Structure 1
Amino acid sequence: MLPGLSEPALFAGSPPLHRRLLQLAAALGAGLPLYWVLGPQPAGWLAWLAPLPVLLLALRSARRDAAWMTLLAAVVGLSSNVAYFRLLMPLPAVLAVIAAKALLWLLVVPATRRLVLRYRAGWTVLAYPLLWVAIDTLMAAFLQDGNWGSLAYSQADYVPVLQVAALAGVPGLLFLLCLLPSALALLLAGGRAYAPAAAASLLLAVTASAAGAWRVQDARAPDGPLAGLVAIDDFIGPATPPAQAQAVWDQYARHVAQLAGQGARLVLLPEKIAVLAPAQAAAVQQRFQALARSTGVWLTLGVGVQDAAGRRNLAWLFAPDGTAPVSYQKHHLAPPERDFLAGNAYAVLPVAGRAMGLAICKDMHFAALGQAYGAAGAGVMLVPAWDFQRDAWMGARMTVVRGVENGYAVLRAAREGLLTVSDAHGRVLAERASSAMPGTTLLAPLPASVPVAPWAGWLGPLFGWLCVALGLPLLFMGRWRAGRDAAPHSAGGPAAPVSR
């Protein structure tokens, strides 16, 4: 037992109104760091410290005060998503989603507070990361949008730290990211008694980063054939004038020919360039099949096809020998395409001397699909995509993380997003923003894949579900008797009740 935590008494000496105003200001201030890490383009360095003010407020406040301050700070932080969510759903739904996410903070932080104050033991430093990983794992498994925006993805640009995902997936990365603020909160609130737990947490973070840096130093430089990526933001919809639609298709064809002339052996176009009737789809297929043959490139493009069976979001892969294309149907559908039919088949085939897999945009937000392609031997993933501008970084980096988890390179061409080439270590080797007509192109050599140990694919999911198994009992541990907080001991002092 560690006696370092004294009775929570933040602002206790102030008059009631003054105290409430100070608490309000403190909660708003604690929400500001969260604002910069809970949105679609988080500040990765700040993610290591952003939860610290909320945890400190909770540990130094009475139970009810801790609850409402945590909720307010979470709402402030999550409000960074409002503009993005409004692109996807009406305002009432946006508010409901933010409220639901804020309630998760109201679940995790008070539970962490309860365990720390009740047991006053070094092991309670694990409560906060365990609970968040458990929630993140459940979201990834059961929600239609998975764990989109998980705090773990904030580290996608920090390549040494990102290597944790190669060993323990997103669950391991999120655990490490949450462990440090938990340790610092206990150290600052409880004093030297928690120094060993804080030191062990810091040592783990430093060791993981150093091991990741060592792993990356042996990464091979890209040595594969050249690949071209193309994106034109203009969408061909039912209301698009025929002349404009033709201009977009012609521009794509010109880009393919130009990239082939520059040495590209494969060219990737974005998702759902148009939604087509069967006759239109057949004409587009014939045109680009002939283009792949005449330019000698492997060519991937995304289209929507609507027939009597319904609408499907497809990726076609054309071979340079002019054979019929391989067709892949998107598994995980974005909110605007809930009326599309979901696919369930995978596609891995030899392309330009490499085993390559096909996926579409949101598919790569799901670790299970990424793992299935890794198990099937994919060395490169070809990912046509369509983002919403505000989520361009997040969409691209979630896909990068799939490559680290499974040891493959990723080519991702997104309309209203980014054209990205990343290797199996998560290094973004080339990237450029998409644009409207005449569009954007990117030419880069294919990165190498990295052999992945057979156990690596299941270690991450296993760790996540282990956190679920441990996290559920934590929610019920340390409940105060008779509906009131049990008192934490002050250093050397007797127990005293904490005010409600």
Structure 2
Amino acid sequence: MQSLFKLITKPSTRSFILQFSAALLIGFMLRFVVNLTPVWWLVWIAPVPLLVIALRSNKRDTFWITAVAASIGLSSNLHYYQLVMPAPIAVLVLLAQSWLWVLVIMTTRRLVLRYQSWWTVLVYPVVWCAVDTLLAHCLPDGNWGSLAYSQTEFLPMLQVTSLFGVAGLLFLLALFPSAIALAFVYGRRLHHVPWAYGLTTLLLIATFTYGEFRLQDPSGKQQVVFGLVSIDDAIGLQASATYAASIWQQYDRHVATLAAQGAKIIVLPEKIAMLTPANAEQLKRYLSSVAKAHHVWIIAGSAIDDGSRPSNLAWMFSPLGILTNNYQKHHLAPPERDYATGVDYQTKVIDATLYGLAICKDMHFASLGRAYTERNVGVMLVPAWDFYFDQWIASRTTLIRGVESGYIVVRSAREGLLTVSDAYGRVLAEKPSSGMPGQTLLVKTNIAARLTTLYSIIGGLFGWLCVLCLVGMAAWPVASAYLRAYKALPNSNLGDASI
């Protein structure tokens, strides 16, 4: 007992207990930051203690504290990962995401301690933006789960995505805790320290002011009535004819009700039924008759299994019952890895407004969202199928595409949310989906001409500039060492002032 007391009272043991307690506390906060329904305001302050510890601790302690805290926080999503992928892969994804946090914090620590100047306040945001940009372009799931998507409730700050995309919002989101952490650790001891805190304050105030100003823009004068329908029940290849008919008849009743209420464009969810090619032709004829009978545009998601590679499709029928568009999903969810991949972009002019088609995960990629901007689309129609637990983050990721590119998004999801959002990220209407008899949403909104945003012109330029800045900051010490060595050579003229 006495030896245990001595062990506990040793300075090294007390230090470990304090550090481990801090890791647990930070990890607990991160659970509300990196989960599928993050607390937006907590995202601004949760990284502060982690950064303070990193700048005050040695490399080994920073590494394990960050690893423990990140693992605890990210474990909040483990159950969701196990729903969409095999358990071993889910664990590997969790470990990889924890490693990213370690990489970001360790890189930030190294660069800040090396330079200890006012501009190091930019290191943490630059590192996060660089990592996020590379993830968005290199991984099949892109930068899904980016911290920036947590800010869709903070509308003034959200408007910065119309300028610099997700990278611009993430930069500001990381800049604030970086400045607070430097203030805690260094106070006034940084070289030219007023620049660090002044720049942070100026950027945040300017962004907030721009956001408030942008939100005052008037809406358009052309009014359109959208109808959204979703029934969570799915129709598989082995479904009985009676079961399938009951679901389609319920969709028909919902369409009739919405059309009677004034809906002109009605969006149904993704992959309502898995079909053989023969059944697909039969369903097309049926949906064509429904659209013609109620004189509405209908967008419906389905999947066709021809025995080789299934296809995930969105069909668009005109009020005359004509199949005008047959869109194939570009970006496939983990359970769809054996599906064929679409490459075409589908648009349709309705009453002088250009509409675009996408399916669920497609809208998680800024590149696809911007591709429709280049085609001058004013409204995106998006059938979707979520996994219930990710319904908030899936709908808000899609919402940001509309802010980046300046268009309305109409998204109807199974096991998710029926959502209509405008070009400023405002949720105009929203309802959760349900099983039979399903859920409907009627939305009347004004449509303006598509907003031209800076992001629609420059794309991901800001994110790639952050990648270049990170490479430059990391490489500069090595380059400086070589430069000094070269100057020291007897035959070197590099330091000669006459040159």
Give the corresponding residue for 2:436. 437
What is the deviation of 1:311? 0.7
Contact 2:406-2:452 at 8 Å conserved across structures: no
Q: Which amino acid aligns with 1:139?
A: L
Match of 1:339 in 2: 338
Corresponding position of 2:172: 176
Give, in whole Å, the separation in 2 of the partners of 1:42 and 1:341.
33
Is residue 407–residue 449 contact of structure 1 (8 Å, CA) maintained in 2?
no
CA distance in 2, matches of 1:347, 1:259: 25
- Please give the per-residue CA displacement for 1:133-166, whole angstroms capped at 9, x wherever unaligned: 0111111101000000100110112111110000
1:107-126 counterparts in 2 under 5 A? 107-126=103-122
Unaligned runs of 5+ residues in structure 1 are 1-12, 480-500
On the 8 A contact 1:187/1:195 being kept in 2, the answer is no
Deviation at 1:204, TM superposition (A): 1.1
Please give the secondary structure, in 2, of the residue aligned with 1:343.
coil
Q: Distance in 2 between matches of 1:169 and 1:122?
A: 26
Taking the aligned partners of 1:281 and 1:168, their CA distance within structure 2 comes to 42
| Counterpart selection for 2:59 from 45, 63, 67 | 63
TM-score, length basis structure 1: 0.90
Note the C-alpha offset of 1:104.
1.2
What amino acid does structure 2 have at the position aligned with 1:270? P
SS in 2 for 1:224: strand
Aligned AA (2:364): H
Equivalent runs, 1:36-185 vs 2, <5 Å = 36-185=32-181
Change (3 A) 1:379 1:14: farther
What is aligned with 1:370?
369
Give the Cα separation in 1 of the matches to 2:68 and 2:56.
16
Match of 1:355 in 2: 354
Higher normalized contact order (CA 8 Å, seq sep 6+, divided by chain length): 1
User: What SS does the aligned partner of 1:291 have?
Assistant: helix
Q: What is the CA–CA distance in structure 2 between the aligned matches of 1:52 and 1:462, rounded to whole Å?
A: 28
Q: CA deviation at 1:223?
A: 4.7
Residue 449 of structure 1: how far off its partner (Å): 4.2
In 2, the alpha carbon distance for the partners of 1:475 and 1:105 equals: 18
What is the root-mean-square deviation in Å for CA atoms of aligned residues?
1.9
Give the equivalent residue in structure 1 for 2:484: none
SS of aligned partner of 1:148 = coil
Contact 1:222 1:445 in 2 (8 A): no
Deviation at 1:219, TM superposition (A): 3.5
Structure 2 residue 253 is matched with structure 1 residue 254: yes
CA gap of 1:115–1:477, structure 2 versus 1, over 3 A, is farther
Q: Distance in 1 between matches of 2:477 and 2:26?
A: 26
- Matched residues, number: 469
Give the aligned partner of residue 315 of structure 2.
316
Distance in 1 between residues matched to 2:160 and 2:445, nearest whole Å: 24
Q: Is the 8 A contact 2:407 2:451 kept in 1?
A: no
Retained in 1: the 8 A contact 2:406–2:453?
Answer: no
Question: Could you tell me how far apart the structure 2 residues matched to 1:149 and 1:438 are?
Answer: 32
For 2:83 and 2:221, the matched residues in 1 are separated by: 37
Alignment of 1:336-485 (within 5 A): 336-449=335-448, 451-453=450-452, 455-476=454-475
Q: Deviations over 1:49-70 (max 9, x none)?
A: 1111110111111121111111
Matched, 1:33 2:33: no
CA apart distance, 1:238 = 2.7
Change (3 A) 1:431 1:393: same
Shift of 1:361: 0.2
Q: CA offset at residue 447 of structure 1? A: 4.2
Residue 20 of structure 1 is matched in structure 2 by 16
SS in 1 for 2:304: strand
Superposed displacement of residue 271, structure 1: 0.1
SS at 2:327 equivalent = strand
Mind listing any 5+ residue stretches in structure 2 that lack a counterpart? Answer: 1-8, 479-499
The CA distance in 2 between the partners of 1:286 and 1:243, in whole Å, is 18
Report the Cα distance in structure 2 between the residues aligned to 1:114 and 1:477, rounded to whole angstroms: 13
For the residues of structure 2 that align with 1:296 and 1:76, how far apart are their CA atoms? Answer: 53
Q: Distance in 2 between matches of 1:475 and 1:88?
A: 37
- Once residues 11 and 399 of structure 2 are traced to their aligned partners in structure 1, the CA distance between those partners, rounded to angstroms, is 52
Task: Please say if residues 23 and 69 of structure 1, whose CA atoms lie closer than 8 Å, have aligned partners that are also in contact.
Answer: yes
